[in-house]
Amino acid sequence: MDWQEHYRSRLVTPAEAVAHIKSGDIVAIPIFPPATLLPALWERRHSLRDVTLRLLAPASDPGWLKPGAEEHFNIEFEIYIGDYARFAMDEKRATYLPNLFSLGFKPWDERPDYRGKADVLLVSVSPPNKHGYVHFGAHHWTKRDYVRRTPLVIAEVDPSLVNVFGDVYVHVTELDWIVEYNPPAFTREQFEALLAPLPPERAAGFRELLNDIPVQRLAPLAGVISAVSPQDVRNFFGLGEPPEYAKAIAGYLKDLVPDRATIQIGTGEPGRLMPNLGVFDDKHDLGLHTELGSPGFGRLVEAGVITGKYKSIHPGKAVAAAWTGCDDKDLEIIDSNPKFELYDPSYVLSMRTLSQIDNYVTINNAISIDLIGQVNSESVFGGRMINGNGGQPELALAGSFSRGGRSIILLPSTALGGSVSRIVAQHEHGAMITVPRHWVDYVVTEYGVASLMGKNHRQRAEELIAIAHPDFRAELRKEARRLWWP
């Protein structure tokens, strides 16, 4: 049987495809999932019991995140929760799988008695090329790793996926059932239909976007409109005004990134704002080896700032596990451009890979940091989990261990309108430590740079108090004396 025949023989409707899911199955649904398969699975919920849905940063919900679906679906987040689904964790109707990208599949591959393997994968793929190979577009992530390990793969073929390069392909014969999907043209009427369920003030904010952005350019956000704010969308299209604290952080960060360094930026703010704040514009021959994208990465490659000329591995290529996070102009540059390559995160973030990179400057964000340097990037108010670790643990370690490298943590000095310090004497009970103090090198706020590597607890406290908001320094100094001095 040739691949075209296999393709035709496996072509079904969404309802027919999800009919193969059984009660008790673990179903993996990675980030940016298929448009047609999730609603089809929800529609047959009454015939299913105890199906575990393993989700990564969902941005839409057919119904299973809300109360009332527990008899049919168990919710498990891995790697990252994201803004949209936090309420399910808050209400204790979901759980979290504390994975690392580099280790997530280790128990699958090395421990035959491991019971956490997914039974089914729902995934979006490109149309096959002339040799029968498909890829996963700009949002590659763990999808290929799952395809190679999951017994039942149900794929939705989406011709709108960005064409990418790298080690990204699987053959159509690795897909068990195939559904075709052609995204409809995005119109003002469809946009209004998406806004209808939103609060009026929020919907009005989205309508104002149309003064600056043609509705057709908003099509990529159709599936996530309920999970983002109008300001998020403005930032995505490079129209948002960055906060003053981010501009100050950019000024300090600029001095920490040398020419010829290979850089990485983690998800969230203020890190994602740094490329468009000019931090890297005057640098020469930077390299890029990153978990995901940030707005401006494409333009930095196109402008010759990021060349990869001096990279230890993959010279001349900008490498990531996904281009998620890049804006629409970046994605236009990345589309069909061999300067950009994607690889599985189990490779990109493996310590075996990262340990080969010299002069690696890793840049990540934090929610809070205590006076001895423990970084929390996952929880607030103690143990309320709002995100996940993502790739930050591996990358913070890699920057610290890299020959000539640096690990940099960025955070504004305060939260909640300036009423709370993000630099704390001690984390609240239950706070989740994403990066242990041993791996923390530089910390940057709008008030300066703290250098922690090689410093004892007292010295670290002094460094961090110096970059805290002035309103909180006296209290932090008092607490530091109580904790770390006789």
> Average pLDDT, stretch 309-324?
97
> Average pLDDT, stretch 155-166?
96
Predicted confidence band at 198 (pLDDT cuts at 50, 70, 90)? confident
Instruction: With a cut of 70, say whether residue 220 has pLDDT above it.
Output: no
Res 227: pLDDT: 67
**Between 312 and 235, the higher pLDDT residue:** 312
Shared-domain flag, residues 267 and 324: yes
Domain extent, residue 14, equals 3-180
pLDDT, one tens digit per residue, over 91-113 is 999 999 998 999 999 999 999 99
> Average pLDDT, stretch 360-377?
98
Shared-domain flag, residues 222 and 142: no
Which of 24-33, 55-64, 156-165, 168-177 shows the lowest per-residue confidence on average (mean pLDDT)?
A: 55-64
Res 409: pLDDT: 98
Predicted confidence band at 223 (pLDDT cuts at 50, 70, 90)? low
- Tokens 């700032």 belong to 305
- Which strands make up the sheet holding 26-29, listed edge to edge? 94-97, 73-78, 51-55, 26-29, 120-125, 152-157, 177-180
CA distances from 409 to 45, 128, 175, 304 (A): 43, 41, 41, 26
Instruction: With a cut of 90, say whether residue 185 has pLDDT above it.
Output: no
pLDDT, one tens digit per residue, over 151-160 is 999 999 999 9
Predicted confidence band at 196 (pLDDT cuts at 50, 70, 90)? confident
Instruction: With a cut of 80, say whether residue 377 has pLDDT above it.
Output: yes
> Average pLDDT, stretch 464-482?
98
What are residue 421's DSSP bridge partners?
414
- Looking at 149, 180, 211, the residue that finishes a domain is 180
Shared-domain flag, residues 281 and 404: yes
> Average pLDDT, stretch 382-400?
94
pLDDT, one tens digit per residue, over 142-151 is 999 999 999 9
Res 301: pLDDT: 98
Instruction: With a cut of 80, say whether residue 269 has pLDDT above it.
Output: yes
Res 241: pLDDT: 80
Instruction: Please give the share of the chain, as a percent, with pLDDT higher than 70.
Output: 98
Which of 21-25, 80-84, 154-158, 215-219 shows the lowest per-residue confidence on average (mean pLDDT)?
A: 215-219
Dist. CA 117–CA 95, nearest whole Å: 16
> Average pLDDT, stretch 345-365?
97
Res 199: pLDDT: 85
Res 116: pLDDT: 94
Shared-domain flag, residues 128 and 193: no
State the chain's mean pLDDT as an integer: 94
Shared-domain flag, residues 88 and 227: no
> Average pLDDT, stretch 256-272?
96
Res 205: pLDDT: 87
Q: How many domains does the chain have?
A: 3
Instruction: With a cut of 80, say whether residue 236 has pLDDT above it.
Output: no
Shared-domain flag, residues 193 and 320: no
Res 217: pLDDT: 75
Shared-domain flag, residues 373 and 463: yes
pLDDT, one tens digit per residue, over 118-138 is 999 999 999 999 999 999 999
Instruction: With a cut of 80, say whether residue 22 has pLDDT above it.
Output: yes
Shared-domain flag, residues 257 and 161: no
Res 190: pLDDT: 84
Shared-domain flag, residues 431 and 318: yes
Shared-domain flag, residues 309 and 421: yes
Instruction: With a cut of 90, say whether residue 238 has pLDDT above it.
Output: no
The domain spanning residue 395 has which CATH number?
Answer: 3.40.1080.20
pLDDT, one tens digit per residue, over 418-463 is 999 999 999 999 999 999 999 999 999 999 999 999 999 999 999 9
Shared-domain flag, residues 258 and 159: no
Which of 77-81, 232-236, 304-308, 471-475 shows the lowest per-residue confidence on average (mean pLDDT)?
A: 232-236
Res 193: pLDDT: 84
Predicted confidence band at 192 (pLDDT cuts at 50, 70, 90)? confident
Shared-domain flag, residues 164 and 305: no
The domain spanning residue 47 has which CATH number?
Answer: 3.40.1080.10
